[in-house]
Structure 1
Amino acid sequence: MTRPTYYKALNWAFLLLKEKNLDEQAAEYLLLERQKWTKTDLIFHEREIMVPAVWQQFQTDVQELLTGRPAQYILGQAWFYDLQLQVTPATLIPRPETEFLVAWLLENVPTSTTPKILDLGTGSGAIALAIKHELPNSEVWATDLSEAALQVAQANAQRLALPIHFAQGDLLQAVAGEKFDLIISNPPYISHDEEAVMDYSVKHFEPQLALYADNRGLALYQQLAQTVAAHLKTGGQLFLEFGYQQAPAIREIYQQALPTATITIKKDLAGWPRMARIQLPD
């Protein structure tokens, strides 16, 4: 195939990806990120012939996409809350939905000039780094069970010059003796029963440790419910993301474990209940 225009190259990629029922827009995303272009830039250049190096890279990227590998892993980076983060197969790709959880927390930060905030299961560090970036005076901690994930998060923090306290361990075991104004977490919540219907790229490329949990995906919420009060200050708040069918179970778990807490469920932009705020009494 002779060097095409950007427009024709994208059409070629779209057809190949569509044949395999893969995300067609991933090809455009890769091209824009490689070129550091906006969509407006693409419109401006779409009738131009691709330069040889760009065409060669694009063909390589499309072949990677055809294996099901996510575009973010091909690039080694992803965006979250306007921060460019390194991602690897040791970390989940941060989702736009999780940005709404962060925004909800930011709306509810206490008036304290230096709130102490914990991100449980930080992965790439996305949540912790977004909070620190938006709240420079906050004291942010981040934990993960995976040493490989923590290495990625630490590298992101160093590159972005955002100081975070990192600790390795299972949930709150990593921060024994510490108390926080706010705790936030997007833990593994997919039931093993759902593996058969999951997206191929997620199932085969993203870290299993960060995806699945026992007891219909609720095991970590149950574990956290039994221990979180000891790590929250008076009036402290816990923010959680969960699966779109899990809201009733989440409410029941935390009503039983923390009967004096106020539990608020919030929907995402698609109208699904996907987030909870559990606030201890003052």
Structure 2
Amino acid sequence: MNSMQPTFTSIREARRWASLFLQEHNREVRVADLLLEHFLDWTPSRILAFDEESLPDEIREPFIKAIKNHAETGIPVQHLLGYGHFYGREFQVDKHVLIPRPETEELVLGVLEYVRTTKLKKPNIVDLGTGSGVIAITLKAELPESNVTAVDLSEAALHVAGKNAKEHNTDVEFVQGDFLEPLLDESIDIVVSNPPYIAYSEKEMMNDTVLNFDPNMALFAEEEGLAAYKVIVQQLSKMKQQPKCIAFEIGYQQGLAVTRIIQEYLSGYECEIRKDINQKDRMVFAYLNS
């Protein structure tokens, strides 16, 4: 990578340099805009309107450094910014948690729809493997009457999630443990989870942005990516009272396998595989026949 510092002065030139630099390194060109917005603390429209202005000296170095860092290593733009977006809110993220993905918003949407159509009052909702807390905090914010508990094995992840809950003024209870293990005696209406579901065999096909920066324990699972679902469903089978709704995010080829796991260990559930916005199987919803 050339060590020569780029010679630009205006915001427009900075944007052009960054876009070309990213393109040459096969990175998303859009990162240039996201980082400019961040460092300038400007809206996209303001950048377009005033792009002839010179780039302030104090952000020149950090901007160049961030662009080069992303180009060389693939470090996610969310790590450079310190936050990611989810369901219209900003959440702190770091190397201990999965970066929030738009597909997971659809999982949350499915749970919200379920609560609204069944008119569940004050539902007890549990989010397993909460990571940065995006699912639990969003559900609590959208359903203030609900009781939301979030579980994670990682203390570092729970620390990030706790900060996010405070930031969004949401009263979520955080518990450390292995999925449902600490809550087996509780009465739960809805279990929602985006667990690790990538098979270790897929590792070499993944891009560096995901592989090197998302925590492995949040990505990979044994048994071709199905281990977490088995653990959760087996834990569910030990509960005195089964939840009314189970909502899983899945890998796009796992719909039938996850459905089979539910049917094998639990009785009385109707399963539905749902597609995401890209028309890939992305969720399994299981409803208890009342």
Structure 1 Cα separation of the partners of residues 90 and 151 of structure 2: 20
From 20, 25, 30, the equivalent of 2:30 is 25
Shift of 1:230: 4.6
Task: Find the partner of 2:219 among 211, 214, 232.
Answer: 211
Contact 2:76 2:213 in 1 (8 A): yes
State the SS of the aligned residue for 1:108.
Answer: helix
Q: Report SS of the residue matched to 1:14.
A: helix
- Describe the SS at the equivalent of 1:143: strand
Partner of residue 88, structure 2: 82
Q: Structure 2 matches for 1:93-242, cutoff 5 A?
A: 93-109=99-115, 110-231=118-239, 233=241, 236-242=244-250
Matched, 1:52 2:60: no
1:35 and 2:43 aligned: no
The aligned amino acid for 2:62 is Q
How much does 1:234 deviate? 5.8
Greater CA deviation, 264-273 or 103-112?
103-112
- The separation in 1 between residues aligned to 2:179 and 2:213, in whole angstroms, is 24
User: Which one is further off, 112-121 or 28-37?
Assistant: 28-37
TM-score by length of 2: 0.92
Q: Deviations over 1:79-114 (max 9, x none)?
A: 111221111100010101100110110000142331
Q: Distance in 2 between matches of 1:34 and 1:130?
A: 27
Q: In structure 2, do the counterparts of structure 1 residues 233 and 37 end up closer, same or farther at CA, with 3 Å as the change threshold?
A: farther
1:5-24 equivalences under 5 Å are: 5-24=10-29
Task: Give the TM-score taking structure 1 as reference length.
Answer: 0.95
**CA spacing shift, 1:129–1:55, aligned 2, 3 Å:** same
Q: Residues of 2 paired with 1:71 and 1:84: CA distance?
A: 14
Q: Does residue 92 of structure 1 match 2:98?
A: yes
Count the aligned residue pairs. 282
Q: CA deviation at 1:214?
A: 0.3
C-alpha deviations, 1:157-178, integer Å up to 9, x for none? 1122111111001111122311
Query: Which consecutive unaligned segments of at least 5 residues does structure 2 have?
Result: 1-5
- 1:61 shift after superposition: 1.3
Amino acid at match of 1:87: V
Unaligned runs of 5+ in 1: none
Counterpart for residue 280 of structure 1? 288
2:24 is aligned with what amino acid? Answer: E
1:69 counterpart residue number: 75
- Give the partner amino acid of 1:228: L
State how far apart, in whole Å, the 2-side matches of 1:76 and 1:266 are. Answer: 32
For the 8 Å contact 1:237–1:278, the answer to whether it is kept is: yes
Q: Which amino acid aligns with 1:182?
A: I
Query: For structure 1, which segment, 248-257 or 212-221, has the greater mean C-alpha deviation from structure 2 after superposition?
Result: 248-257
For 1:214 and 1:135, how far apart are their aligned partners in 2?
A: 34
Q: How far off is 1:233 after superposition?
A: 4.9
CA contact (8 A) 1:125 1:156 kept: yes
* SS of residue in 2 equivalent to 1:243: coil
Bigger Cα displacement from structure 2, 246-255 vs 201-210: 246-255
Query: What's the CA shift string for 1:141-195, capped at 9, x where partnerless?
Result: 0000101000110111112211111100111112231121111000000000001
Aligned equivalents of 2:8 and 2:182: distance in 1? 54
Q: Which amino acid aligns with 2:53?
A: E
CA distance in 1 between counterparts of 2:243 and 2:128 reads 19
User: What is the alpha-carbon distance in structure 2 between the residues aligned to residue 35 and residue 135 of structure 1?
Assistant: 35
Q: C-alpha root-mean-square deviation of aligned residues, in Å?
A: 1.6
SS of aligned partner of 2:180:
helix
Q: Structure 1 253/234 Cα, relative in aligned 2: closer, same or farther at 3 Å?
A: closer
One-letter amino acid of the structure 1 residue matched with residue 64 of structure 2: Q
**Partners of 1:89 and 1:263 in 2: CA distance:** 34
- Residue 268 of structure 1 deviates from its aligned partner by 0.6
1:248 CA drift (Å)? 1.8
